[in-house]
Structure 1
Amino acid sequence: MPVQRWRPSVGGLLWVGVWTFPLLDPLSTVDGTRGGIIAGVGLGVFTLTYVVITTLGFDHREDLRRVADVGFGAVAALGVGLAAAYGEHWLIVMLFVGTCGAAVYAGYERVTVALVVLASVLAATVLLGLLHNALSTALITVIGTVLASGLVGAVRQMQRLIRELQRTRDALATAAVAEERLRFSRDLHDLLGHTLSVIVVKAEVVRRIAERDPAAAAAQAADIEDIGRRALVEIREAVTGYRESGLTAELTRAKGVLSSAGITATVQRTADPLPEAADQLLAWVLREATTNVVRHSGAQRCDIEISTVDGAAALSVVDNGGTASGAAFGNGLRGLTERLGAVGGTLQAGTRDGGGFAVVARLPL
């Protein structure tokens, strides 16, 4: 995979650069001699390398980890070299070696490396303090290095958590969109599947009776117009999220649809008024089951029963048609099975031993 070009932000470089002000102390010892010029150049190269590599560490660029490793090696070598060569005031550069190591290695997967680097920096600082007879300065630098490196490590961990939260939020948003699309497709299928099936049935009736009974054909055509208009209203309400379809209204509609298809419908309802959510969900089940009876069963009779048993509402739609209705367990019933399952309900559909097809939904109240 090609490595993307790294372009550090100006803000990031400035933020890291601002915290290099303690390096003004060794800079104050630089004079115009040859040795002073070399020390000044070395300090400038150290500072520039430190700012760039530390900023890279904060950017979490895993594809540039090798660059970060090499860059930190350069920072460490320059820091140790300057502190060893120029004495007490230069021990402060070891603090920046430690914070650079924390920025590069304090990630979740490299904490051990960061601890090893920090321990090495602290040990080197103490040894350099002994070399220059500046142990007290070395100990102060050690304390500062521990505190600064801990702060940098905490900031890096916070950045990692923020990035993970952002990825999680994006994943949840994607999942929510997919779930909403699935819900909308179910609603649209239930609405259009039922409505178009009814329109087809009534259109067939109109075609059969148009010549011998024009008045009845006109009445059926008027029903088709009414169904179409009602479907348009329902689709608009479904799109805006305000669709409410009650079970009582759906029962009336189911009997009319079955009757128009030449199917004798019987309805038995012993259930008390149901909670709104259960009422609407069972209305969807009744609509889908009735549509399947009309489209697939070839039945002459359909029995609908609504009851409450052991704290659960039960809806059964049973026809005496052929096995063709068994093929109806498609997107509609599958979607309703998922909806009922989400609230602890069940949906069973299949052929009966004595012939016909049954759909039974149970929903805890």
Structure 2
Amino acid sequence: MRIRQRCGERARKRADRGPSGLSLLPWLLMGLGALSHLLGGQAPNPWIGAAGLLAFNTVYIAIVFRAFDRSRRESPLTWGLLVTLGLLTFGLAIGYGREWLLLFPLLGLGVGAVVRRGRLLPLIAFPLVVAVGAVTFWRDGWGSIGIVYGTFISIMVTAAILALDETVRELRETREELARAAVEKERLRFSRDLHDLLGHTLSVIVVKSEVVRRLAPRDLDAALAQVADIESVGRQALTEIREAVTGYREGSLATELDRARDALSTAGIEPVVRRSGPLLAPQTEALLSWVVRESATNAVRHSGASRCEIALSGSADRVRLTVTDDGRGPADGTPGSGLRGLRERVAAAGGTLDSGPAPRGGFRVTAELPVEASVPPEGDPAR
């Protein structure tokens, strides 16, 4: 099984690398006709022909290996080598004739591998094919029409296949990058949800535990009632965490207002809840639920307030939630990570969230949203 997995991994790696210059080397066999012409003693100036054929093969190999590295393919050196290959091909074809005309399709492979796509391809391919046709007709007449066609096909097919392969690899890289970004967004979403869920729940449990400690010596029944509340809060937190993990948690604003009222009362803070305005879309309610939860949790944990007012109002298009307490606010005057995360979520839904000292003292959190907010999946507080 492990051997099969390793073979599969090696095959995937080879597929990711794509073709290389080695895939174009077998086509050099098309030059065997020119080589046999030299070895048969039929070519004039055989030493010049041999040197030219050696130079042609060397330049062709250099081009095809450079063509599969984008930075090297687009360098002036590669284009200089391509021009050199063209001069060698035309020179050998004009000087030696028929058997050497098969070098033209090899030139086409080199051109297709380097140019590949864009407006430059037809500007190079068509004049080159015309020039090849002129030379081949002069040296071999109509019998060389296959050479012209083969040169054209080698240019266009090589360029198309390699451009398609390059595009597929770019799309694969883009898909992998998007997958990595999606994972990072999901991690951020989960960390925010976990922070908001546990921060609120643990704050309520701590406050109720302190009440139990104070009540136990003098009123056991009341202390037991608080213990039952702690158990209920813990069970509810477990349910919410499971839902957050699966990504399908939906916040109910009415439920969250009741929880906030209970948590504030337990902490000795007088809750005042005012709600008016139109019916809200589920996404908007869910997002406002997070604002209520985070603001109430901060009031319980940090404010030292005696009164906290939660006001919800709105018009036909916008809804406004304000949470104001008469406490001291954050110790350093700056909002915590919970409020910063909420600000990003509200902004992604087309709204605004402001927090800071209230005009008459205390701390205020104000969120404004469209009545039907559109929450992006990666920032959806309902998930």
TM-score bracket, shorter-length normalisation: 0.7 to 0.9
Cα 1:67/1:193, change in 2 over 3 Å: same
Of residues 92, 115, 127, the one that matches 2:102 is 92
Name the structure 2 match of 1:191.
197
Equivalences for 1:137-156 in 2 at 5 Å? 141-142=147-148, 144-156=150-162
CA contact (8 A) 1:193 1:291 kept: yes
Deviation at 1:286, TM superposition (A): 0.5
Percent identity, please.
42
* Cα distance in 2 for residues equivalent to 1:280 and 1:343: 12
Q: Which of the residues 178, 182, 187 maps onto 1:181?
A: 187
Tell me: CA distance 1:39–1:13, structure 2 relative to 1, closer, same or farther (3 Å).
farther
Letter in 2 for 1:211: P
Task: Say what the alpha-carbon RMSD is for the aligned residues.
Answer: 3.9
In structure 2, what is the equivalent of residue 277 of structure 1? Answer: 283
The Cα of 1:168 is off from its aligned counterpart by 2.3
Task: Name the residue aligned to 1:104.
Answer: 114
Output the CA distance in 1 between the equivalents of 2:332 and 2:220: 36
Shift of 1:315: 1.5
Greater RCO (Cα-Cα under 8 Å, separation 6 or more): 2
Contact 1:263 1:300 (C-alpha < 8 Å) held by counterparts:
yes
Contact 1:30–1:39 under 8 Å retained in 2: no
In structure 2, distance between residues paired with 1:363 and 1:73 = 63
User: Residues 286 and 31 from structure 1, CA distance in 2 versus in 1: closer, same or farther, beyond 3 angstroms?
Assistant: same
- Secondary structure of 1:104's partner? helix
Confirm or deny: 8 A CA contact 2:22 2:65 kept in the other structure: no
The equivalent residue for 1:59 is: 68
Query: Residue 228 of structure 2 aligns to a residue in which SS?
Result: helix
Instruction: Tell me by how many angstroms 1:49 deviates.
Output: 6.0
SS at match of 2:274: strand
Structure 2: distance between partners of 1:270 and 1:244? 21
Conserved 8 A contact 2:18-2:165: no
Residue in structure 1 matched with residue 244 of structure 2 by the alignment: 238
Q: Residue 288 of structure 1 corresponds to which residue in structure 2?
A: 294
The residue aligned with 1:5 is none
Q: Deviations over 1:24-67 (max 9, x none)?
A: 87689788557599999899969976885575366345358799
Aligned to 2:322, the other structure's residue is in SS state strand
Name whichever of 333-342 and 308-317 sits farther off.
Answer: 308-317
After TM superposition, the structure 1 stretch with the greater mean CA deviation from structure 2, 28-37 or 74-83, is: 28-37
CA distance in 1, matches of 2:150, 2:330: 81
Contact 1:27 1:40 in 2 (8 A): no
Q: 1:351 to 1:183 in 2, by over 3 A?
A: same
Deviation at 1:156, TM superposition (A): 3.4
Cα deviation for residue 297 of structure 1 reads: 1.1
Separation in structure 1 between the aligned mates of residue 57 and residue 227 of structure 2, nearest angstrom? 84
Q: Secondary structure at the match of 1:262?
A: coil
TM-score by length of 1: 0.79
Rounded to whole Å, the distance in 1 between the matches of 2:232 and 2:254 is 19
Cα deviation, 1:203-259, whole Å, max 9, x if unaligned, reads 222222332323322222222222122211111111011222211111111111000
Tell me which moved more, 168-177 or 143-152: 143-152
Distance 1:346 1:241 in 2: 24
CA offsets per residue over residues 176-214 of structure 1, 9 Å max, x none?
Answer: 222111111111111011111111111222222332323
Quickly say closer, same or farther: Cα 1:328–1:266, change in 2 above 3 A. farther
Q: Which is further off, 161-170 or 300-309?
A: 161-170
Q: How many angstroms apart in 2 are the aligned matches of 1:113 and 1:253?
A: 68
The farther-off stretch of 178-187 and 201-210 is: 201-210
> Which ranges of structure 2 fall in alignment gaps of 5 or more residues?
1-16, 372-383
CA distance 1:125–1:49, change in 2 (3 Å): farther
Indicate how the Cα distance of structure 1 residues 364 and 11 shifts in structure 2: closer, same or farther if over 3 A, else same.
closer
C-alpha distance in 2, partners of 1:183/1:327? 25
TM-score for both structures, normalised by structure 2: 0.75
Number of aligned residue pairs: 353
Shift of 1:294: 0.6
Out of 95, 114, 126, the residue aligned to residue 134 of structure 2 is 126
Deviation at 1:99, TM superposition (A): 2.6
Unaligned 5+ runs, structure 1 = 1-8
Instruction: Report how far residue 329 of structure 1 moved.
Output: 1.4
